[in-house]
Structure 1
Amino acid sequence: MLECFTILLLSSKFALSESVAFSYLASSMALCGASQQLALISGGNGHQRRGRISRSNRGPIKVQASTSSELGVYEEGRLERPDWSGQTPLSRLVGALISFKPLYSILKLGARQVLISTAEKKNISWRKLTSDILESDVYKELDSVQNPSIVYPDYYLKPFHAYDDGNLSWLAAAEVQPATMSMIMRAVPTASSVDEAKEIVFGNWLRRIKEHHLKYSGNPILDILDIGCSIGFGTRQLADEFPTAKVTGLDLSPYFLAVAQYMDKKKAPRRNAIRWLHGNGEDTGLPSRSFDLLSISYVLHECPHVAIVNIIKESFRLLRPGGTIVITDQASKSKVVQELSPVLFTLLKSTEPHLDEYHLTDLEEKMKEIGFVNVTSRLTDPRHVTITATVPF
């Protein structure tokens, strides 16, 4: 299956001209059948493992068996970040390929088709879940969540995730649910169902939050903010875990928030209803020191470096002394992420324009510079890292 993109690796190692690389890659894409691409995306490494860490002098972290009650321990790769990211020769080559507009259009279409087909092979009804939203009364929710005074940053107005309008469209909002379910299944490929994968991904994430807050703060969690909440997957998990807290989900896309609110109305009322807020995580306009827990999940890899720093600074301002921040995102040190096949990391980078900036940003050091203490990180599934930290008392 890797033969389809062997020429891409060869061109990166032997410095073929960009024009040659373009033609070879286009030919490879044409020869690579859908079934081969799907096998690449659904197979390979990434098996969920549990156990204690022991380091080998010759390689990455090894995992030994232990009781299932412990938080999963997952393998790190040999590098600080993937060699297909940042300013490496391979990364620059892939960037040059993606910048070639005719090829970018092919990659964008290919990425979307592979994602949908792979999801449906995992019994995720992508098309049905999408049509259920698009054919519903969700449109009535837009006016009640949209803030007409919002000024969108330039990066947010560009094509993104294979959508010409980025996150500012009904189609993007309608496809968040199946896309998230697909992401969760990719994170835990051994899971037999979405529910099982969610239990691992969200369970490990929530466990890290509670462990950190209990160890370094102990303050009651009364107010929670979820920055970049999308349609509220993680927001609802937080509301379920901390039912007495007041939870706010904030996002730049009013379409995402409309779907979040619509989905909430289909569920039984909560003791404390989630507040859905249209705002920019870089400058929320919310009062300082007004939250005990602040979450940023799967957001920062979608942002340029300046926005990443601004969001972390804003988070520090918003948290009360002793408050906990939790950031979950793609793990630069993940063995699975570092070993993505050429077809996968090329398709991934074609839909994630700021991925290089994200992987070049040392989040832990940046958080310390801004003022956070007790900064700790851990892989909470094979692909994602969860970083927790505290605002000093």
Structure 2
Amino acid sequence: MAVSSMAALALPFSLATRIRCNVISTESQQQTFSATNEASSSSALEGTPAMNLATGVVNSLFSFKPFFRFASATARQMLIRRGTEIGHPWDPELCKLRLHDWDSALKVVQDNDLEYPEYYLKPFHAYDNGNLSWDAALEVELAAKSVHANVFDPKRKELDPNGDVRLRESYHEKMCTMLKCTPRAVVDIGCATGLSTFGLHQYFPDATVIGVDLSPYFVTVANYRLKEHSEALGQKLPVHFMHAAGEYTGLPSGAFDLVSLCLVCHELPRSATKQIIEEAQRLLKPGGALAIMEMNPYSSSLQRMVNNVFAFTAFKATEPYFDDYRTFGLENAIESLGFSSPIQAESSPSHRTLVAHKN
């Protein structure tokens, strides 16, 4: 997901944390991972009987298409209502965006030879065409603000209009303490409309940052935001966007210091996640870092949500691959695909940041 407009792109990063990463030892990396791993056993991934029962019930309901459509529409309306409640109403922003000639801009970025994987062609995020639509691309930044308004409240009741910004700031801060060096060349896979990409640029202002997304609609809006941002600052930014698959970006091998996936893996089947991790391995220089910010399947807040069939139904309406992600064992997959044991830190009560380095 992403953020919105130029005002939101001016994230309040402190100068001290923007410019430098702290170098930590391999020994402390291993200790951090081991402590976390011991606390998060494989049984947590498999789930409690109540959790598995809730999952089975919800999956059965979603196999009935009229229910899926009803639940998706309900979830979307909930996000729109919350947006208004936190001071980010959807209609004014969408009316402004829809005035732009998007179809002409789309032709510039779209790779017509790109073949979309089957998983990407299914209904997703309450859109019949998933991310391959203007509705998804124009609404994703508003949806991010709404979805993340309550992530810092363990009980998910208190709403913060800046929750999305705080979550991404937390990702960058935690990531930076785990990196071995300050990156100069960065790839942001699954960049959507560029919120995560612009955040990486602000944190690493001297780096070239390339955002990659499988949706040409998202990339088109990202380029629009890039133009807005560049004009506001009066300079061309070292930020670029491209329409490509995260499984194979087409970018040069061994050319990058950092590959970032921000809130991407839970939106993928595990087979695609593995392929993207393999692609990150190809893209990175020796010792380069893979950084991932994601929902933490071991967190108590997320497990409470899964055990609540009503809350889980609302969530499942927009995240069809969540079960596959939740039971995947992401850290083990990272290590098995040629990276060091990932170290991790909490980014919110229900999110974690993982960093691993290429062996």
Q: TM-score, normalised by structure 1?
A: 0.75
What is the aligned counterpart of 1:94 among 58, 72, 91? Answer: 58
Partner of 2:168: 202
Partner of 2:352: 385
Structure 1: 5+ residue stretches without partners: 1-75
Partner of 1:326: 291
Structure 1 residue 141: Cα displacement: 2.1
Structure 1 residue 130: Cα displacement: 2.2
Q: Please state whether the residue corresponding to 1:386 is helix, strand or coil.
A: strand
Is 1:357 aligned with 2:324? yes
Partner of 1:57: none
Mean CA deviation greater in 239-248 or 260-269? 260-269
How many residues align? The count is: 313
Aligned partners of 2:193, 2:50: CA distance in 1, in Å?
A: 30
Is 1:110 aligned with 2:77? no
Deviations 1:200-222 (A, max 9, x none): 31222111221111xxx23x411
Partner of 2:92: 128
Q: Measured at CA, do residues 111 and 160 of structure 1 come closer, stay the same or move farther in structure 2, by a change above 3 Å?
A: same
| Residue pairs, 1:45-64, within 5 angstroms | none
Partner of 1:316: 281
Aligned partners of 1:310, 1:223: CA distance in 2, in Å?
A: 21
Instruction: Provide the aligned C-alpha RMSD in A.
Output: 2.4
Aligned partners of 1:356, 1:269: CA distance in 2, in Å?
A: 45
Aligned partners of 1:90, 1:136: CA distance in 2, in Å?
A: 44
Contact kept? 1:86, 1:359, Cα under 8 Å: no
Is 1:225 aligned with 2:187? yes
Aligned partners of 1:276, 1:388: CA distance in 2, in Å?
A: 23
Q: Measured at CA, do residues 314 and 378 of structure 1 come closer, stay the same or move farther in structure 2, by a change above 3 Å?
A: same
Contact kept? 1:120, 1:126, Cα under 8 Å: yes
Q: Please state whether the residue corresponding to 1:243 is helix, strand or coil.
A: coil
Is 1:299 aligned with 2:261? no
Contact kept? 1:84, 1:90, Cα under 8 Å: no
Aligned partners of 2:161, 2:251: CA distance in 1, in Å?
A: 35
Aligned partners of 2:40, 2:341: CA distance in 1, in Å?
A: 24
Partner of 1:4: none
| Residue pairs, 1:152-167, within 5 angstroms | 152-167=116-131
Q: Please state whether the residue corresponding to 2:54 is helix, strand or coil.
A: helix
Aligned partners of 1:193, 1:350: CA distance in 2, in Å?
A: 23
Structure 1 residue 191: Cα displacement: 7.3
Structure 2 residue identity aligned to 1:211: T
Q: Measured at CA, do residues 270 and 312 of structure 1 come closer, stay the same or move farther in structure 2, by a change above 3 Å?
A: farther
Aligned partners of 1:124, 1:199: CA distance in 2, in Å?
A: 13
Deviations 1:84-133 (A, max 9, x none): 89992321121001111222221111111111112211212122222222
Aligned partners of 1:193, 1:83: CA distance in 2, in Å?
A: 30
Partner of 1:169: 133
Structure 1 residue 273: Cα displacement: 3.0
Structure 1 residue 199: Cα displacement: 4.8
What is the aligned counterpart of 1:184 among 138, 143, 148? Answer: 148
What is the aligned counterpart of 1:261 among 218, 223, 227? Answer: 223
Q: Please state whether the residue corresponding to 2:257 is helix, strand or coil.
A: strand
Deviations 1:335-361 (A, max 9, x none): 211112432211111221111111111
What is the aligned counterpart of 2:243 among 275, 278, 281? Answer: 278
Aligned partners of 1:99, 1:192: CA distance in 2, in Å?
A: 32
Contact kept? 2:144, 2:164, Cα under 8 Å: no
Which structure has more relative contact order (CA 8 Å, sep 6+)? It is: 2
Contact kept? 2:54, 2:309, Cα under 8 Å: no
Partner of 1:80: 44
Partner of 1:147: 111
Aligned partners of 2:55, 2:92: CA distance in 1, in Å?
A: 36
Structure 1 residue 362: Cα displacement: 0.5
Contact kept? 1:224, 1:294, Cα under 8 Å: yes
Contact kept? 1:225, 1:250, Cα under 8 Å: yes
Structure 1 residue 381: Cα displacement: 0.7
Aligned partners of 2:223, 2:327: CA distance in 1, in Å?
A: 35
Structure 2: 5+ residue stretches without partners: 1-38
Partner of 1:242: 204
Contact kept? 1:304, 1:354, Cα under 8 Å: yes
Structure 1 residue 158: Cα displacement: 1.0
Contact kept? 2:188, 2:212, Cα under 8 Å: yes
Contact kept? 1:86, 1:360, Cα under 8 Å: no
Q: Measured at CA, do residues 283 and 269 of structure 1 come closer, stay the same or move farther in structure 2, by a change above 3 Å?
A: farther
Q: Which has the larger radius of gyration?
A: 1
Contact kept? 1:146, 1:254, Cα under 8 Å: yes
Partner of 2:13: none
